[in-house]
Structure 1
Amino acid sequence: MGLFERKDAVEAFRDLLEKERRFILTGNIEGAEGLTREKKRLIGRIATTGADVEALMSLRRKADHNNRLLEASAKGFKAVEDQLRNLTSASVSLNTYGSDGHRSPLGRGGPDVDKKA
Structure 2
Amino acid sequence: MENVVYNELLIRGYNIDVGILDVFSNNKEGKRVRKQLEVDFVVNHGSQRYYIQVAYDMASEEKQSQEFYSLRSIPDSFKKIVIVNGTSKPWRNEEGFVIMGMKYFLVNWNSLEF
Q: TM-score if structure 1 supplies the norm length?
A: 0.24
Higher helix share: 1
Higher strand share: 2
Higher RCO (CA 8 Å, separation ≥ 6 residues): 1
Max Rg structure: 1
